[in-house]
Amino acid sequence: MANTFTSIIPTILASGLEVLRESCATLRAVNTSYSAQAREVGDTITIPQPIAQTVAAVSPSNTPPANTDTTPTTVTIPLDKWKKTDFQMSNKDELEINKGNFVNSQAGEAVRALANQIDADLLDTATADSGVYNHIGTAGTTPFASESAFQTNWQKGARKVLRQGLARFGPDIYCVIDEDAEGNLSSLTQFTDADRRGDAAGMIEGEIGRKMGSTWLVNQNVRSFTGGTLTNGSGKLAKVNGAVSADATTMAIDDSSLSGTLVDGDVFTVAGVSGYFIVTNGTQTASGNAIAAVNFSPAAPTGGFDDNAVITFAADHVANLAFHRNAFALAFAPIAGTGLDSGSSITDPETGVSLRLKVTEEYYQTTWRWDVLYGVKCIRPALACRILG
């Protein structure tokens, strides 16, 4: 007897979760523990952020010291991404195919498409406004080309930057890289030779796995960042126009010959200053060899920026990422709905993703729809670093 639509829905939901888990390597690497009740697109989720504590000496006394107020900061994640995918079958299709098996496999492809979209949105936050400002490596050059390059890119580069950002090293450190970077890594003997990596998985499985303090994940969705076109005639360089004080988040820049643009996500360093910065105020166009106001994050450190200090902006690059899982937050919510066509929802306890499946019988055809409501944000950028490629 042929399956009815109602009878195969639980099976399809279960198979959808299997595909979701297969396709969510990067999603598993970030914090998805933020949940919400049924909501609508545009709602927000507020996440409390801990603040640094201070330590004081104990001085015994019959009068206790006054308590110190603690005011945690918060980060708001908008549930602004409502994505769907669907497919339909006519009455003729239903008669000619094994309905249960076809719907099951096609639904899996639909869930895979949604997982890839969520993954892409997550990776996009790294190069967006207020995204990841730390960066190491050479733009346009695939990292890890040799053992010395690996030491520069990872051990003395991204790993050091994460430690400076106070990332706690352990199982929560990940590197998400593209296929070219993986190709370089997989040719290094410390990742292939059993006596150097500690096991034979490199040669047998061809997987990098967890090595050198990080879990290495290959992702075809790793983003290529196209920055602004700013140039002083010899490179993507400029100078600070007027000294910038500590804690400032805006500066003017100029040079003897400056043209082109800066965009959100452009990252830069300032000569004589320790640290990395990111442009946050959208597209800015040079006029009269200057840009009057460039907003940036994080704020200028103690000592600020000196007048005429050289600013070096990173060129276009592949944004491989090293990060602690708490650098990013993904928030999912079951979608509110009522009535006969509200659909069936399920939340995966492994990935935290809430999916809804709606089956609609229409005019001589049936449409199957998956949808998901979520928000993503880089909430602690100091815990992440771009590895330029």
Tell me what pLDDT residue 138 has.
96
8 A C-beta contact, residue 383 and residue 323: yes
**Computed over its alpha carbons, how large is the radius of gyration of the chain?**
25
Helix (H) or strand (E) holding 202: helix 201-204
**Of 280, 257, 282, residue with least CA distance to 267:** 280
Q: CA-CA distance, 270 to 298, in Å (whole number)?
A: 13
> According to the model, what pLDDT value does residue 15 have?
62
* CA–CA dist 239, 244 (Å, integer): 12
d(CA 179, CA 41) in angstroms, rounded, equals 34
Which residue matches tokens 């670093």? 385
Task: Report how far residue 164's alpha carbon sits from residue 167's, in angstroms, rounded to the nearest whole number.
Answer: 7
Cα distances from 377 to residues 56, 78, 285, 382, in angstroms, run 35, 9, 27, 13
Rounded Cα distance between 325 and 174, Å, is: 7
Reduced to 3 states (helix: H, G, I; strand: E, B; else coil), residue 165 is: coil
Going by C-alpha positions, the residue among 243, 249, 244, 242 that lies closest to residue 299 is 249
**β-bridge pairing 214-218 and 173-177:** parallel
Helix H or strand E segment including 93? helix 91-96
- Helix or strand or coil: residue 182? helix
β-bridge partners, 332: 374
- For the chain, residues classed under CATH 2.40.30.290 are 227-315
pTM (2 d.p.): 0.84
Mean pLDDT of successive 10-residue stretches along the chain, which has 389 residues: 49 64 71 68 79 84 83 82 81 59 70 86 90 96 94 94 91 94 88 56 57 88 95 96 96 96 97 96 94 96 96 97 93 68 67 78 79 90 96
Query: What are 223's two structure tokens?
Result: 């983003």
How far apart are alpha carbons 357 and 8 in whole angstroms? 12
Count helices and strands (H / E) in the chain: 10, 23
Q: How many Cβ atoms are within 10 Å of 130's Cβ, its own excluded?
A: 16
Q: Which residue has the tokens 């299709």?
A: 93
First to last CA, the chain: 56
Cβ atoms 230, 236 nearer than 8 A: yes
Helix (H) or strand (E) holding 378: strand 365-378
The topology under which CATH files domain 5-49+73-127+328-375 is Major capsid protein gp5 fold (3.30.2400)
Nearest-10 crossing angle of helices 5-23, 99-125: 40
- Per-residue model confidence (pLDDT) at position 340: 47
Residue intervals of the chain classified under CATH 3.30.2400.20 are 5-49+73-127+328-375
- Topology of domain 227-315, per CATH? Elongation Factor Tu (Ef-tu); domain 3 (2.40.30)
Question: Is 25:219 a contact under the CB 8 Å cutoff?
Answer: yes
Please report the pLDDT score of residue 294 as a whole number.
97
| Residue 330 neighbours by CB distance under 10 Å | 24
What pLDDT is recorded for position 21? 64
